[in-house]
Amino acid sequence: MAIANFPASLQPIIQQGYLSRAFQDALESRLGFRSIADRMDFPARIGQTITDTRAGLLPPATTPLNPSSNTNFDNGMSPVEWSVEQYTLTIDQYGNTMDLNQVTEGVGIANQFLANAARLGINARQTLDRLARNALFGGAENGVGGYLGGNTRVTTTLGAAGTTITVDDIRGFQNVISSEGQVIPVSTTSGMTVTVGANAYTLTGVAADATNTSTAPQGISGTLTFSGNVAVADGTEGMAVVAATAPLVLRPNGRATTLALLANGMKDANGNVVTGDYLTIQAMLAALSALRDNNVPTLEGGVYHCYLDNAQLLGLFRDPDFKLLYRGQYGSDTYQTGQIFDLLGIRFIPTTEAPQQASLGAGAIHRAVICGQGALIEGDYENMGNHYTADLNGGELTDVDGVCMVTRPALDRLGQIIAQSWSWIGGFALPTDITADTTIIPTATNSYLKRGVVIESLGASA
């Protein structure tokens, strides 16, 4: 009942302006990238890093044995060895904390202890999800780069043919995998084949800029040095720079770089007006084909997962091929809700944590990633809770999905201020699949990272 409906004589004695006795929930991010990771325990007492080894397979023996060589103890056969590849998982500690004065909380408007605990829980979940996202796209420590690595562009045109070019992002060019399966830095003795513009060159050195000017999410601008001169035509600003072992990055209409993406109404190189380089079914099919060519296992439900933001999803809904698939099905859950749905062997999962990039040329760049099983590994320190005493001197320890939620009792002189904290010790790694080459899987690509494909596009607006 509105206060104006009370008798006028009673209105002055009714207190107005009370704060609500409960905190309202704030908006929070829509997560999902951590769910991609395969979980493993990081054993205690082995240091801060662990190097894991994958064993490759033997190439099929399709050549018949020579009967005339079937002699001696080896029967004409020569011993062979399977190849190996290694990746390193590095762990670090993460956490956050809040203090609570029990006296002031007792006269507050709501239960601040529970509100703090809830906020810390959300903070921990979002932190781990963002760490997983950053590792997936940008690469983990001591690795070969993430699923955006090895794909960049020239940022400064060469004045004359030279061995060094300036690029927007050096991630994915810094390390190579040796013949022994170890990750080692690029050098004059361990070069990398890189296509700059229209020609291939041998990369021998990488250097980061003192001041980072990269436009890519978490990118690192710098220079690439090659064993021979790069032609001016190849070293022109905007030309694509792609490592031979780079993960697959797709763009609508075959655009070579993010800078080449075109907005609705712009003209392409042939003078044709385009409808905008938004996410398309054809790009999704190309990604799906690459994953299947590498025989990447599917995730739960027998599908690959595609994580994308809502602007990119809106562009997909405008794709003519998508509309054709759903013609006459506007009453379907896919069209009615636009939430998680399966299509063509891909599960589309909208997230607000997809990497965002400010306007570049035609507009903001949006990136979807399609993943199969094993694209990301999470290492959780198995000794996480053992360094606390049994009773925490009166405190409390709760393990929630690998994260320790700790409540420390009051240690101040008046015994009033308690501390609520969360802590996680772990890390994320990107295992490579270099041993799955064309001798093992004839349709395999040359990428170090084969279990995911990134699709860059513009985002549609409502």
Examine residue 295 and state whether it is found in any structural domain, yes or no.
Answer: no
Q: Is residue 45 part of a domain?
A: no
pLDDT of residue 12: 64
pLDDT at 449: 94
How far is 412 from 347, CA to CA, in rounded Å? 52
Beta-carbon contacts of residue 140 (< 8 Å; ≥ 6 apart): 89, 90, 146, 427, 428, 429, 430
In a domain, 195, yes or no: yes
pLDDT at 278 (0 to 100)? 92
Q: Which residues have CB under 8 Å from 354's CB, separation 6+?
A: 133, 307, 308, 309, 312, 366, 367, 368
Question: pTM (2 decimals)?
Answer: 0.84
**Tokens representing 155?**
């940022």
Cα 432 from Cα 87, distance rounded (Å): 7
Query: Is residue 183 in some structural domain?
Result: yes
Q: Which residues of 317-332 are buried (b: 16+ CB within 10 A; e: fewer)?
A: eebeebeeeeeeeeee
**pLDDT at residue 23, as a whole number:** 44
pLDDT of residue 333: 58
Q: Residue 47 has what pLDDT?
A: 65
pLDDT at residue 22 in the model: 46
Place of tokens 């099983």: 373
**pLDDT > 70 fraction of the chain, expressed in percent and rounded:** 85
Per-residue pLDDT for the chain (462 aa), expressed as one digit of tens each? 455 555 666 556 555 555 444 444 555 566 788 888 888 887 766 667 777 777 777 777 777 777 777 777 777 777 777 677 777 788 889 999 988 887 766 655 457 788 888 888 888 889 999 999 999 999 887 788 999 999 999 999 999 999 999 999 999 999 999 888 888 999 999 999 999 999 999 999 999 999 999 999 999 999 999 999 999 999 999 999 999 999 999 999 899 999 999 988 888 878 888 888 999 999 999 999 999 999 999 988 899 999 999 999 888 888 888 877 766 555 555 545 556 678 888 989 889 888 888 778 788 899 999 999 999 999 888 877 665 544 555 677 888 888 888 888 888 888 888 888 888 988 998 988 888 888 889 999 999 999 999 999 998 875
Q: Are strands 92-101 and 417-429 parallel, antiparallel or unpaired?
A: antiparallel
Structural domain boundaries enclosing 207: 149-244
- Indicate whether 213 belongs to any domain: yes
Classify burial at 14, counting beta carbons within 10 Å of its beta carbon; exposed 0-12, middle 13-18, buried 19 or more. Answer: exposed
Tens-digit pLDDT profile for residues 113-165:
888 888 888 888 899 999 999 999 998 877 889 999 999 999 999 999 999 99
Structural domain total, the chain = 1
Strand segments (E) across 209-269: 222-230, 240-243, 249-250
Distance CA 385, CA 361 (A): 50
In a domain, 263, yes or no: no
Contact 351, 305 (CB under 8 A): no
CA angle centred on 113, ends 110 and 118, rounded to 5°: 100
Q: Is residue 316 part of a domain?
A: no
- pLDDT (0 to 100) of residue 388: 54
The conformational region for residue 238 under phi > 0 = left, psi -120 to 50 = alpha, else beta, is: left
The per-residue pLDDT for range 238-281, each reduced to its tens digit, is 999 999 999 999 999 899 999 999 988 888 878 888 888 999 99
Can you give the pLDDT at residue 291?
95
Structure confidence at residue 412 (pLDDT): 81
The dihedral built from the CA positions of residue 62, 67, 69 and 70, taken in this order, carries a sign that is positive
Residue 184 domain-assigned (yes or no): yes
CA–CA separation, 429 vs 134, rounded Å? 11
